[in-house]
Structure 1
């Protein structure tokens, strides 16, 4: 059953990413005016400078970097090697010509340039607060059991360190990974959601590096907006206007957690709602739908959407899921 949930998380990541790709980084009003309502895979519009490189049902850098992380875990037999993670991400960026396209976030671009120049990871400050660590963290949520929060935070921080070391970026990645990990264990969403503010607070305060607002408080606000809203449209609008749907961790991670709630953990519904939100739609979709996939398993993902993801991206997600499940089982037995 855990393998099924891990596979659901990986497919959810790709589903939310690919569904949200066409509208990424556009204002909510422009998404509505251009698309009306997105409820299927679409190609990136030529006029969208971030999405124009992608065809229908292709995922973006979010899932590509998650797979760079997963490949590093598989290559090291389930152990976290930040140097290899950094090299994998750099190799993907160079292969995709990402430095010359509008697909890399500013924090990742600076860090990858430094890695390309041969600077050791230990010397890199990487104190940015964007969501590059959280958007790729789903394989770690599949790997790490949620037993020891401090050890969990340390592991996520280590895997995030090639590009992101700030308290906020790490805390955001911890929140997404912890939600996935608890879901893989079979926990109910209500219990997971209620636990996340305390998890965020502990992670953000463990090694303070920024003057950021409280991720815990923003999570509480985002969940409250959804629970008190009068319908999906009202909830989405208020999340966009009050919590924010931008590329900063302080906006996108609380927004993603709220979208899981708004979609009632249905991965197909979640991917669609995120795609229509506006802002960082592909990343919010990737994070939120990965959690939904972990909660409900791969069987909950629309077979037609799953088939299209497989056909277009030519990936064997089952290979990753089997390996991550085996690594997780070994950690649980240790």
Structure 2
């Protein structure tokens, strides 16, 4: 048994790398239906190259991470630089610079619809607090892992989630989704296993509903409960069919975030199994895989992730990720110590 910091660091690194595994596995199958995935690739159970005609992933190598991982690590850096108050302008500037770098490398416009609208509004003079009032897609939840690592469970976590969402996803649906995911990760950092951690997700989602601008749509809390019930006792094949047919796997928060919880349960908390399931699910596979993988990784730890698969990741510097994970954990423990004397 290691020290508290060592255990928390293992969980934090597990969250970030677990998310990367899910992202990379879903990269070649994103935007495809389960039937198209099966026709193009068969059953995906390892890193593969995307089809040459893939609309967004063509040209990427097997195991390559996408915007999901890159924006998560970007969020970690901005959080650490921001101190006690999240720096909205630094976050927006970082996203803009990141997008320019992606295009310079020959990539595609990977900013999601909510983030893109918010950045355009801020560049036109809209205050960051107002720019995200229509952002309801899953971008907030996909990159929220660093907040869950940094902040312990409780009211402060919900507040920091809402603050980090403000500039791009300042809506009840997006904040609720991000709060549910961050809560699972934060409880994982504290030592909870996946079964215990998901027990806190619905309450966190309901707390998140009280933040941001209201937008219509089924509540995230209720849809997470539905998603978890939906896959109870299912085989993986049946679970994939139920999630795709009934719940949906689109970019909207009400579909992809509950789908990630269903994937976590189908995988029994195994991050690699979650990545495989998500890759074959159809729809927003990379983001669903990233969210499910980050939750699973936080609740299992880095040492329980498949090291051979980690070695196949492309486009991620493991030493940089370790430094970010270590810094987030130290900031978390320092804040806890200050609050408790």
**TM-score relative to the length of structure 1:** 0.93
Q: Which residue is equivalent to 1:296? A: 300
Deviation at 1:266, TM superposition (A): 0.8
The answer to whether the 8 A contact 2:162-2:211 is kept is: no
1:9 corresponding residue in structure 2: 15
Alpha-carbon offset, residue 314 of structure 1: 3.0
2:52 corresponds to: 46
**1:130-141 alignment runs, 5 A limit:** 130-141=137-148
Q: Any unmatched runs of 5+ in structure 2?
A: 1-6
Instruction: Give 1:83's aligned residue.
Output: 89
CA deviation after TM superposition for structure 1 residue 169, in Å: 0.5
Shift of 1:111: 1.4
The farther-off stretch of 113-122 and 68-77 is 113-122
Shift, 1:53, TM fit? 4.8
Q: Secondary structure at the match of 2:18?
A: helix
Question: 1:86 and 1:127 mapped to 2: Cα distance?
Answer: 16
Match of 1:29 in 2: 35
**SS of residue paired to 1:175:** helix
1:78 deviation in Å?
6.7
Distance 1:68 1:327 in 2: 17
CA–CA distance in structure 2, aligned partners of residues 19 and 244 of structure 1: 19
Compare 314-323 and 187-196 and name the one that shifted more: 187-196
Quote the offset at 1:329 in angstroms.
0.3
CA distance in 2, matches of 1:312, 1:174: 28
Question: CA shift at 1:208, angstroms?
Answer: 4.9
Partner of 1:266: 270
Q: Could you tell me which of 134, 143, 151 is aligned with 2:150? A: 143
Count of matched residue pairs: 330
Q: Equivalents in 2 of 1:116, 1:272: separation in Å?
A: 39
Match of 2:4 in 1: none
The verdict on how the C-alpha distance between 1:172 and 1:48 changes in structure 2, with shifts beyond 3 A counting, is same
How far did residue 76 of structure 1 move? 3.1
In the other structure, the counterpart of 1:222 is 227
> Partners in 2 of 1:223 and 1:176 — Cα distance?
14
Contact 1:78-1:327 at 8 Å conserved across structures: no
Q: Could you say which residue in structure 1 is the equivalent of 2:251?
A: 247
State the Cα distance separating 1:193 from its structure 2 match.
Answer: 1.9
Cα distance in 2, alignment partners of residues 46 and 104 from structure 1: 22
CA contact (8 A) 1:107 1:130 kept: yes
Q: For 1:72, which of 71, 78, 93 is the aligned residue?
A: 78
Alpha-carbon distance in 2 for matches of 1:53, 1:179: 34
Q: Does 1:280 align with 2:280?
A: no
Q: 1:113 matched to which residue of 2? A: 120
Q: State whether residues 194 and 300 of structure 2, in contact with CA within 8 Å, keep that contact through their aligned partners in structure 1.
A: no
Whether the 8 Å contact between 1:49 and 1:102 is mirrored in structure 2 is no
Closer, same or farther: CA 291–100 of 1 in aligned 2, 3 Å: closer
Name which of structure 1's ranges 168-177 and 198-207 shifts more when overlaid on structure 2: 198-207
SS in 2 for 1:308: coil
Partner SS for 2:28: helix
Task: Between 235-244 and 190-199, report the one with greater CA deviation.
Answer: 190-199
What SS does the corresponding residue of 1:324 show, helix, strand or coil?
Answer: helix
For 1:321, the equivalent position in structure 2 comes to 325
Offset, 1:191: 2.4
Q: In the TM superposition, what is the alpha-carbon distance from 1:321 to its structure 2 partner?
A: 1.0
